[in-house]
């Protein structure tokens, strides 16, 4: 895979059974006021519906000047689909658009302008505004960042994290970190499996290798939220997926902190036994809070979601001990790479 520094934008859209969500998403791509060269790379990630046929027919009828390329990635998982999209992208600037994201008409133009003025910027991202199929309950907004809504939350008390929806990257800098040994541990969503964190993992890798990532408030998109996702069961699944990603993201973050200023607590938190004990104690504390809230007859949904996330962290630490140790070794090796820069 080679970096192509030609001026232009490659929009990469990864699709899994996306047929019913794509019409307005594609229409908003057509309405972009960016006037440079542009292409749309649709990655069909093991869909079982008519996603490919719909895109081909719909795009043909639009008579767009944006070149359409459809490629297949049969290895399920968002990260695999995005790698395939990057591999097939013609241009150095890549913008990831989810199948349910409606880009603001100036999204591509703003992204292009920002990258042109900062050559050390590896990734930028924006914020989503919801388009609900039905009115959400009040508790939903405690979890809005799970749906790429609003400003990305501070990741472990730092700004190193951007939403994968609308994420824009430089292909050459991505290939640079790959060349120097970066390999994603997290696969992202895989069919109905809601494991996440691959977007934050990439952002943290960029920072570890000396590049910048930045949130841009003027990059905006609308996120379709169907009724099926405005449910507590869906929130629990999201928390479970985020819990599985947490131990790995924490290692990246602690590596970044130790690069900036070493501290004993940061060192301690990289220890598997410490993390496991910490989250077992946290489990007991959450259960205690849940009991108090239940006695007071208040809504327990938020605390139950927190419990699911914490339990997923414990399970991941127990089941994936080898992956955890492997990532620690890889991150330790980054020190040698940084010294060469």
Task: Name the CA radius of gyration of the chain, rounded.
Answer: 20
Helix (H) or strand (E) segment spanning residue 320: none
In a 10 Å sphere around its CB, with 0-12 CB exposed, 13-18 middle and 19+ buried, how is residue 332 labelled? Answer: exposed
Q: What is the DSSP letter of 190?
A: B
Q: Could you report the per-residue pLDDT of 163-193, keeping only the tens digit for each?
A: 999 999 999 999 999 888 888 877 777 656 6
Specify the pTM. Answer: 0.83
215 touches 150 (CB < 8 A): no
196 touches 240 (CB < 8 A): no
pLDDT value, residue 337: 47
pLDDT value, residue 3: 54
pLDDT value, residue 334: 56
pLDDT value, residue 264: 45
Q: Looking at the DSSP assignment, which residues form a beta bridge with residue 96? A: 12
As a whole number of angstroms, the distance between CA 107 and CA 319 comes to: 41
Strand order in the sheet with 9-15: 67-72, 38-44, 9-15, 93-96, 168-170, 121-132, 212-225, 101-103
Residues 6+ apart with CB under 8 A from 163: 125, 126, 127, 128, 148, 152, 199
Residues of the chain with pLDDT below 50 are 156-157, 262, 264, 337-341
Sign of CA dihedral 190, 196, 198, 199: positive
Q: What is the DSSP string of 33-62?
A: ---S-EEEEEEE-S--SSHHHHHHHHHHHH
105 touches 32 (CB < 8 A): yes
The CATH number fitting domain 9-230, selected from 3.90.25.10, 3.90.550.10, 1.10.8.10, 2.70.98.40: 3.90.550.10
Angle between helical axes of 198-208 and 171-179 (0-180°, round to 10): 80
Q: Could you report the per-residue pLDDT of 14-66, keeping only the tens digit for each?
A: 999 999 999 999 999 999 999 999 999 999 998 999 999 999 999 988 878 89
In a 10 Å sphere around its CB, with 0-12 CB exposed, 13-18 middle and 19+ buried, how is residue 276 labelled? Answer: middle
Alpha helix segments (H runs only) across the chain:
22-30, 51-62, 78-88, 107-117, 171-179, 198-208, 232-260, 264-268, 272-295, 301-319, 321-340
Q: What is the DSSP string of 135-178?
A: PPPGGGGGGGGGGTBBSPPPBTTBS----STT-EEEHHHHHHHH
């Amino acid at each position: 895979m080679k970096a192509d520094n030609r001026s232009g934008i490659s929009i990469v859209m990864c699709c899994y059974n996306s047929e019913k969500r794509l019409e307005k998403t594609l229409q908003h791509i057509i309405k972009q006021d960016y006037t440079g060269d542009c292409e749309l790379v649709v990655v069909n990630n093991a869909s079982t519906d008519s996603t490919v046929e719909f895109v081909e027919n719909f795009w043909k009828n639009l008579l767009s000047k944006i070149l359409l390329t459809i490629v297949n990635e049969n290895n399920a998982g968002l990260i695999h689909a995005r790698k395939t999209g990057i591999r097939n992208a013609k241009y150095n600037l890549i913008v990831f658009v989810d199948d349910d994201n409606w880009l603001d008409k100036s999204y591509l133009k703003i992204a292009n302008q920002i990258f042109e003025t900062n050559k050390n910027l590896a990734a930028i991202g924006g914020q989503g505004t919801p388009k609900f199929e039905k009115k959400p309950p009040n508790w939903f907004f405690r979890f809005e960042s799970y749906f790429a809504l609003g400003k990305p939350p501070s990741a472990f008390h730092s700004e190193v994290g951007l939403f994968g929806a609308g994420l824009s990257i430089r292909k050459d800098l991505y290939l640079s970190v790959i060349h120097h040994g970066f390999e994603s541990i997290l696969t992202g969503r895989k069919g109905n499996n809601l494991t996440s964190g691959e977007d934050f993992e990439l952002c943290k890798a960029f920072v570890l290798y000396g590049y910048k990532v930045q949130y841009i408030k003027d990059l905006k998109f609308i996120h379709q939220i169907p009724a099926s996702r405005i449910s507590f069961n869906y929130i629990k699944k999201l928390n479970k997926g985020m819990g599985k990603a947490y131990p790995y993201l924490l290692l990246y973050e602690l590596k970044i902190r130790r690069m900036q200023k070493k501290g004993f607590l940061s060192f301690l938190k990289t220890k598997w036994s410490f993390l496991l004990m910490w989250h077992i104690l946290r489990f007991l504390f959450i259960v205690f809070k849940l009991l108090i809230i239940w006695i007071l007859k208040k809504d327990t949904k938020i605390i139950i979601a927190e419990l699911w996330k914490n339990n997923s962290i414990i399970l991941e630490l127990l089941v994936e001990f080898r992956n955890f140790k492997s990532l620690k070794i890889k991150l330790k090796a980054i020190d040698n790479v940084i010294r060469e820069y």
